[in-house]
A and B are shown apart, each in its own frame.
Chain A
Amino acid sequence: MSHQLEVAGLNLSFGGLRALVDVNLHVDAGELVAVIGPNGAGKTSLINCINGFYRPQAGTITFEGYNITRQPPHVIAGRGIARAFQNVELFRGMTVLENLTLARHLHLRYGVAHALAYYGRAQAEEAANRRFVEEILDFMELEPYRHKVVGTLAYGIQKRVEMARALCLEPKLLLLDEPMAGMTVAEKEDMARFIMDVNEERGTSIILIEHDLHVVMDLSSRVYVLNFGQVIASGRPAEVARDPRVIEAYLGDEAGVAS
């Protein structure tokens, strides 16, 4: 059986800097896979290749049988891959509701003529759409912030809006780039719960990038460890945590696991 997402022999370099070196990785439908690694290991670059921001020099990325390597981001989003950004990249001037509604773009189908007249089809689709957005607001516990302008919200809430916005695409694969970075412990626990719920209730496959090994151990079924652009270990979280290469890569890093 073929995997939902298959990354094979991926190579990406910026000038002389090799950000990704022969990276192989796969995700099966419904799986929650973690990618960990120290700063600058190439985690974000990997996600940027999968979602079409970066164009790798070599290698292929296959999603549900389609070759999506070097396709433009909007096409890849249309295939069912959504992402949340490490550095919050929300539409800051818009409200939470507007951010989420915007992300429904692909699920609304009416054209320019309907939009200008705002009658019939456009109106009906917009109302049904609003119902869906409210579900996501409810799911991510964001109702109190519905009409708040995103730029005015606390960082932890903005991170949550990031994830909610990605969910509005109804993705089959969700790419989460350090969704818990910079959060308080309580916020992290909430976020972990949301991630688990999305994976279990909605059956969405997830690639989770995270520094904190403990979080990863709890959430993911498999882990890939990146270091200097290379996958240095992969497998079940407990096995990977014992791997000497992983311990070495994390040596001196406070996120290192002592078990």
Chain B
Amino acid sequence: MQFSACGNYKTRYVDEATIFPNDTGRVLVAVLLLFLATLPLWLSPYLVFVFTLIGIFIVGAVGLNILTGSTGQISLGHSAFMGLGAYATGLLAQAGLPFWLAIPVAGAVAAAAGAFFGIPSLRVKGLYLALATLAAQVILQFAFNLFDSRGGGTSYLSVPQATLGGLVLDRERLFYYVVLVTAVLAVFAALNLFRTRIGRAFTAIRDNDRAAAAMGINVFAYKLLSFSISAFYAGVAGALWAYASGVVSAERFTLLLSVEYLAMIIVGGLGSVLGSILGATVITVLPEGLRVAADYMSQVLPQATHLFLAMRFAVFGLIIVGFLMLEPQGLADRWRVIKTYFNTWPFRY
């Protein structure tokens, strides 16, 4: 077994295209997955739920990073596509569809919407595209609100628990495994994508769309493909969210969440799958951690509860700004630097 190579000793082209350049990575990931698989056995239901949330947002963030980080198409509508997946799942689950069917179908619904709302990318780029995708967010959010207020008052869409052959995959424990498996599949599919012609076409469009076209890439078709793959991921995340939370409402899928998604991929590292994972983890855990901290502080200083609640958002904002200033390349790049350090340790030239 190779610990970590400090040079390139590959003898086959297939080996160079591998996700794990050495056994160390493979073992680390296997250990991590085993560890994650045991979580529900010894962790409190609340913390298991936090991990469920992390898994869901990893799926969503990986999706947005494919579109924004790798294809260079900024989107402010990612939260709406997630919402679309959640609503679709609610309706499908109520209609009696099993979860393993409802989740991909919800993804497909979101993918279709993604391709549709990606059409402006034929003509506009950058900030203008951001505005065009903002329109997607606003329109879909409006539709969600309409749906919530169907028949007069506000009625949330309730989602029955997922079941597998009579076994109820309860929200506190077992559904976590569905999220874990989905997140692992999502991550590996994305890693695969970027060693193929499709992922390369995305990156080429980001770097130089004129040259990409001259190399035979149908730029518009690939932009739409990127929009729909990204929205598919968002839709799947929304489907998982629907099962995990049990109710679907428009409140969760506002512009704020779209911005949080952007924060995830920026903090983690644009165009990096690992970055999406790290970013989603940080941005999901931060508010939870700050909430726990606020709870704790308010026990000591009960009169200050409101103050801490308000400060939570300020601290959240400050931490993100801090990240942007200190780690502009994202967490994934920091990881790369650390890895390089140990690869050549103790001989550094």
Residue numbers of A with Cβ under 8 A of B are 51-53, 72-74, 77-78, 82-83, 85, 89-94, 98, 101-106, 108, 110, 112, 114-118, 122-123, 126-127, 130-131, 134, 147, 165, 169
Contacts and interface: CB of A to CB of B under 8 A. Distances in A.
Nearest to B219: A74
Nearest to B192: A118
B208 interface: yes
B349 interface: no
A123 B17 CA distance: 9
Interface of B: 8, 12-14, 16-17, 189, 192-193, 195-201, 203-204, 207-208, 210-219, 225, 229
A98 B195 CA distance: 10
B216 A106 contact: yes
Contacts of B195: 118, 126
Q: Is the interface of B mostly helix, strand, loop or mixed?
A: helix
B197 A169 contact: no
A118 B191 CA distance: 9
A180 to B, nearest CB: 20
Contacts of A74: 213, 216-219
B207 A94 contact: yes
A106 B46 CA distance: 50
30 contacts: A51-B214, A52-B213, A53-B210, A73-B214, A74-B213, A77-B215, A82-B215, A85-B214, A89-B208, A90-B208, A91-B208, A91-B211, A93-B203, A94-B207, A101-B200, A103-B216, A105-B215, A110-B196, A110-B197, A112-B229, A114-B196, A115-B198, A118-B195, A122-B196, A123-B14, A126-B14, A127-B17, A130-B16, A131-B13, A147-B8
Given A102-B212, A127-B13, 5 more contacts: A89-B211, A105-B197, A106-B216, A115-B197, A127-B12
B214 A82 contact: yes
Closest 10 pairs between A and B when the two form their complex, measured CB to CB:
A77-B216, A118-B192, A130-B13, A115-B196, A91-B207, A73-B213, A106-B216, A116-B189, A89-B211, A108-B197
A77 B14 contact: no
Contacts of A91: 203-204, 207-208, 211-212
